[in-house]
Amino acid sequence: MRALLFARKAQLDLVYGPEQRERLGRLVELEVFAGDYDSAADVADALAETELLFSTWGMKKLDEPLLRAAPRLKAVFYAAGSVRRLVSDAFWQRGIPLCSAWAANAVPVSEMTLGLILLGLKRFFEHARVFRAPGGYHRFPVAGGYKSTVGLIGMGMIGRRVRELLRSFDVRVVAYDPYLSDEGARVLGVEKRSLEALFAESDVVSLHAPNLPETQGMLKAEHFRLMKEGATFINTARGAIVDEPGMIEVLRARPDITALLDVTHPEPPVEGSPLYALPNVILTPHIAGSMDRECWRMADYMIDECERFLKGEPLLYRVTPERLKTMA
């Protein structure tokens, strides 16, 4: 089948490495468009014969003009995460399969989250900060990695992967997710909790909920006030899910709790934000997701998915309008 690898050069070079392009070239009749473009008209000649479309970050919207330019399009493979800004009513109406590498992007996020959880259980960041002060050789009481409690908010792909990684450790896992059934919780080996109970019980709270209208501002000051002495909050999801003024208010009043924020809202925080100055806040520049060689995994997932498509096998990572309702 005729396939088009369609992305701006910087993103394409980052995500589709030499091995991935070679694999793809063996699988399909491949044409590459790696350059700047403003609309589907700029690549109309390439799209006209395209049956399979591969892309990544920076892809143009799958709207009516693009679809008219690609009348033979049979499937789209997006080697990145969220497809919210890509889809349109016109695209859904065509019934064209759309696959996303959201599961591949979940791997580095869950790996970084595991590291932060283990460090949080030791109050690593607080110990490291205080040690620099005069007389700072001091140990705080810690929860540690034995019989402590980790709270996971959101049990989608990333939340589930984090839970699986935690099986190697002797910790109790509690979870909040309104879509998680009692049977699902049993299979995952987690105890369902309300948000309030989760914050009150957990030594570390890790956020993995999708950024949806109903989740924006979901975590408020009252939740952070419930945190245990020396507890840690981790956000590798989206900053908009947190009521940041409310969180900041509690972090100012509770220097014993630590916030590890890989994402904020806006991103980065505005100039002069208290998040830059609060000693119990650690900021990182949205590094939990796929970076550098990790990005090749996203392309590999989509090439694997293409192989399934060509063989007529069930697709593992197809995004549908219904599935999109609960995705990031």
Helix pair 102-121, 294-311: axis angle to 10 deg: 140
CA 142 to chain centre: 28
Question: Is 238 considered catalytic here?
Answer: yes
Question: Is 193 considered catalytic here?
Answer: no
* pLDDT value of position 181: 97
Q: Active site residue: 267, 307, 313, 323, which one?
A: 267
* pLDDT value of position 325: 82
Q: Which domains does the chain have, with CATH numbers?
A: 2-100+292-324 (3.40.50.720), 105-283 (3.40.50.720)
The residue type at 321: P
Neighbours of 121 (CB within 10 A): 23
Instruction: Please name the residues in contact with 106: beta carbons below 8 A apart, sequence gap of 6 or more.
Output: 157, 158, 161
Statement: residue 27 has pLDDT above 90:
yes
Q: How far apart are CA 162 and CA 83, in angstroms?
A: 23
Q: Active site residue: 208, 238, 244, 305, which one?
A: 238
CB burial class (10 A; 0-12, 13-18, 19+) of residue 132? exposed
* pLDDT value of position 192: 98
Tokens 């030791």 identify what position? 122
Q: Which of the four pLDDT bands, split at 50, 70 and 90, describes residue 60?
A: confident
Question: Is 164 considered catalytic here?
Answer: no
- Structure tokens given for 293: 């060689």
Query: What confidence tens digit (pLDDT) does each residue in 96-134 have?
Result: 999 999 999 999 999 999 999 999 999 999 999 999 999
* pLDDT value of position 232: 98
User: pTM to 2 decimals?
Assistant: 0.92
* pLDDT value of position 324: 87
Dihedral of the alpha carbons of 175, 179, 184, 190, in degrees to the nearest 10: 0
Query: What confidence tens digit (pLDDT) does each residue in 159-206 have?
Result: 999 999 999 999 999 999 999 999 999 999 999 999 999 999 999 999
Statement: residue 229 has pLDDT above 80:
yes
| Cβ 272 vs Cβ 189: under 8 Å | no
Statement: residue 140 has pLDDT above 90:
yes
Considering the chain, what percentage of its residues have pLDDT values greater than 70?
Answer: 99
Dihedral of the alpha carbons of 164, 263, 83, 194, in degrees to the nearest 10: 50
Q: Active site residue: 172, 265, 286, 318, which one?
A: 286
Which DSSP category does 219 fall into? B
| Cβ 6 vs Cβ 58: under 8 Å | no
